[in-house]
C-alpha cells in the first residue's frame, strides 16, 4: 500500500530550523538553499568536525556536486 503525502512526510522525519537563523538570515544575506543546507547540516551533524557525504547531500537537495560546492564556497567566503 502506498503512503499518502502526509504519511510520507510524517515518516520521513523532520529538521529543526534554529530561531536565530530565521531571525538573521536576511542580515546574513543567505539564500533559501543556504538556509536549508545549514539547517540540515546542523540537524544531521552534531560534532564540530564531520565528513560530508557529498552524494547523499546532493541527492537530498537535488543538486549536482558543482552546485553543492558553490553553495558551500559562498558560505565559506562570507564566513557563515
Share of the chain above pLDDT 70, in %: 95
Residue 35 lies in a domain: yes
Residue 67 lies in a domain: yes
**15-43: per-residue pLDDT in tens?**
778 888 889 889 988 998 999 899 888 88
Residue 64 lies in a domain: yes
Residue 10 lies in a domain: no
Instruction: Tell me how many domains the chain contains.
Output: 1
Residue 43 lies in a domain: yes
What is the distance between the alpha carbons of residues 36 and 73, in angstroms, rounded to a whole number?
Answer: 15
Residue span of the structural domain in which 29 resides? 16-77
pTM: 0.71
Q: What is the average pLDDT score of the chain?
A: 86
Contacts of 78 (CB under 8 A, 6+ apart): 28, 29
Higher pLDDT among residues 24 and 13, named by residue:
24
What is the distance between the alpha carbons of residues 46 and 12, in angstroms, rounded to a whole number?
Answer: 19
Residue 8 lies in a domain: no
Residue 6 lies in a domain: no
Q: CA 14, 16, 17, 20: dihedral to nearest 10 degrees?
A: 180
Amino acid at each position: 500500500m502506498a503512503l499518502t503525502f502526509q504519511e510520507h512526510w510524517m515518516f520521513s522525519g523532520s529538521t529543526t530550523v534554529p530561531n536565530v537563523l530565521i531571525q538573521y538570515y536576511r542580515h546574513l544575506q543567505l539564500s533559501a538553499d543556504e538556509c536549508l543546507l545549514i539547517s540540515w547540516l546542523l540537524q544531521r551533524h552534531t560534532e564540530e568536525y564531520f565528513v560530508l557525504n557529498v552524494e547523499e547531500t546532493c541527492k537530498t537537495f537535488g543538486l549536482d556536486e558543482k552546485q553543492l560546492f558553490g553553495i558551500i564556497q559562498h558560505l565559506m567566503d562570507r564566513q557563515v
